[in-house]
Amino acid sequence: ASDLVRVLTSLRQQAGKKNLKGSKPMLVADERTNSILIGGERAERLQLRAIISHLDTPSEVVGDTHVIYLRYAKAKDLVPVLTGVGKTKNTTDKKAKAAPASSRQPFDIQADESTNALVITAAPTVFRSLKSVIAQLDVRRAQVMVEAVIADVSSDRAAELGVQWLLDGSGGDNPVGAINFGSGSSSISGLAQGAARAAASGSGGTAAALSAIGSGVTIGLGQFSSGTFNFAGLIRALEGEGITNVLSTPNLVTMDNEEAEIFVGQELSIPTGAFANTGGASSSVNPFTTFERKQVGIRLKVKPQINEGDAIRLDIEQTVDGIAGGAAGAGDIITSERSIKTSVLVDDGEMLVLGGLIKDDLVETEQKVPLLGDIPLLGALFRYTSVKKVKTNLMVFLRPTILRTKEDSFKLTRSKYNFIRSEQLRLGEDGVSLMSDESHPVMPEAEEFLELPAPFITRSQQQKRSENQQQDQGAPAKQDSVSIFSDWEDEEGEF
């Protein structure tokens, strides 16, 4: 319809130059119904209808090929949808019309990914239907910014108190009796063995024993002399307290109905197996250790779907991994994992708690000598008590925000950009220690950052910038001498 309106309008303009008398009919194309509305005198309307009837005939060319460039949608994603619509429309037209030329017209849709365009070969009626569908599908899709808040507050307290004894009635180096509690450096037997090995090797036994004492307060008493009854006592007291307060706020932006993922963390090497060469000297197998890579950190995976009324359905998978503790070697690394996988419905800009964990552990351990440890007051000399309490509070919150226009995206980008830049400026207020001539790196202002680099800006932008600089200096503007490399210099003339 619009093509015929352009042809008829051109004809009327040519005719109007020769004959200016009479009223001019009005022509309006209705794309929805593919029809033309005519207004004017009856004779002119009849004349235009005759011309339209003559021009509105099936094309003798078998099939018409058109190229449509898309602005927002992916061409390859629209091909299956348009193919289904086109085949249905083509079949309907064949049944409605018995003309053989119409039935022989081909139909094909291809996607050119390099230019993000659709190449459509179809009958005019089918193409008009496809063009209407493309106009409704090729629209700017809304985006969603998902902000997550992970609050992890934990505290742990530990206390130990006990007495250990070592008895020797022969005056030799080996004990004949011991009341041993604990393990490792906290036990009296461990201290005695370390001192004995150090003395046998020629190093100082006392120094070795002192270096093996663990954390806390350790008091030793006793008597050691040749040919007499020897004894040693070890009193150990320890109290520790730790508080952990972790606040993580991962956030990311993704398109509607598109999955996105962000990960911030590190990768650990954990040994999974080892082989030691225990054969003879003729063995050719070298010892080796196998490792496994494991990522630990914060991972957020989300897929939003915007529904009617600005309600957002979110498929969320939130994982928080960390190193819980470790012993001497890498094989003793302990990792903790806290994960949430759920689907929720949240309104635009509203905050929702996804879940959490409140954990309170209390472990009391008491070791004692039977009968002797139960004696009031005196029994404390034959007991070893340890208490450990761990309290964990973990909560995960989430807030989605819809970004429908480019202005919303620009506003969000600008706020995040200015926040990071203000942090850089705050850290750089005191300068660089020991290097007074150096300064902290700072991002440029948002207005400067949003401009294109000098090799990519247009000629008019270069001339306008040159005019503004010359007007600020009080000099007349020059239109013909603009260097493309002049914008690489900053205000101080440095590159």
In terms of pLDDT, which residue wins out, 404 or 63?
404
391 touches 154 (CB < 8 A): yes
Model confidence at 195, pLDDT cuts 50, 70, 90, reads low
The pLDDT of residue 282: 58
Q: What is the DSSP code string of 288-312?
A: EEEEEEEEEEEEEEEEEEE-TTSEE
> Residue 473: pLDDT above 60?
no
Which of 23-32, 257-266, 273-282 is predicted with the least confidence, judged by mean pLDDT?
273-282
Tell which wins on pLDDT, 17 or 49.
49
Whole-number Å distance between alpha carbons of 72 and 140: 6
Number of H helices, E strands in the chain: 10, 16
* DSSP H/E element including 467: helix 459-472
For the cut 50, the answer to whether the pLDDT of residue 491 exceeds it is: no
Higher pLDDT, 465 or 140: 140
The tens digit of pLDDT for each residue in 216-231 reads 677 777 666 666 667 7
Please report, rounded to a whole number, the percentage of residues in the chain having pLDDT higher than 70. Answer: 69
Residue 206 has pLDDT above 70, yes or no: no
State yes or no: pLDDT of 249 exceeds 50: yes
CA 84, 136, 113 angle in degrees (round to 5)?
65
- 468: confidence class by pLDDT, cuts 50, 70, 90: low
Domain positions in the chain are 2-55, 64-139, 153-241, 246-277+286-365+390-403, 406-488
More confident residue, 81 or 170: 81
Can you tell me the distance from the alpha carbon of 143 to that of 402, in angstroms, rounded to the nearest whole number?
6
The domain made up of 64-139 has a fold known as Ribosomal Protein S8; Chain: A, domain 1 (3.30.1370)
Q: Give the model's confidence band at 2: pLDDT under 50 very low, under 70 low, under 90 confident, else very high.
A: confident
Strand pairing category for 334-347 and 35-39 = unpaired
pLDDT at 24: 72
Over the stretch 16-39, which tens digit does the pLDDT of each residue have? 655 545 567 788 888 777 788 888
pLDDT digit string (tens) for 414-437? 899 999 999 989 888 888 888 888
Could you read off the pLDDT of 129-179 as tens digits, one per residue? 899 899 999 999 999 999 999 998 888 888 888 888 777 765 555 556 777
366 pLDDT more than 70: yes
pTM, rounded to two decimals: 0.62
Tell me if 216 sits within 8 A of 160, measured CB to CB.
Answer: yes
The pLDDT assigned to 5 comes to 81
Mean pLDDT of all residues in 357-366? 88
CA-based nearest residue to 317, from 345, 341, 344: 341
Chain mean pLDDT for the chain: 77
Q: How confident is the model at residue 328 (pLDDT cuts 50, 70, 90)?
A: very low
120-124, 141-145, 278-282: least confidently modelled range: 278-282
440 Cβ contact partners less than 8 Å away, ≥ 6 residues apart: 424, 427, 428, 431, 432
Q: What is the pLDDT of residue 79?
A: 94
Per-residue pLDDT reduced to its tens digit, 284-327: 667 778 888 888 899 999 999 999 888 999 999 999 888 876 54
Amino acid 313: pLDDT:
95
Lowest mean pLDDT among 5-9, 61-65, 121-125, 184-188: 184-188
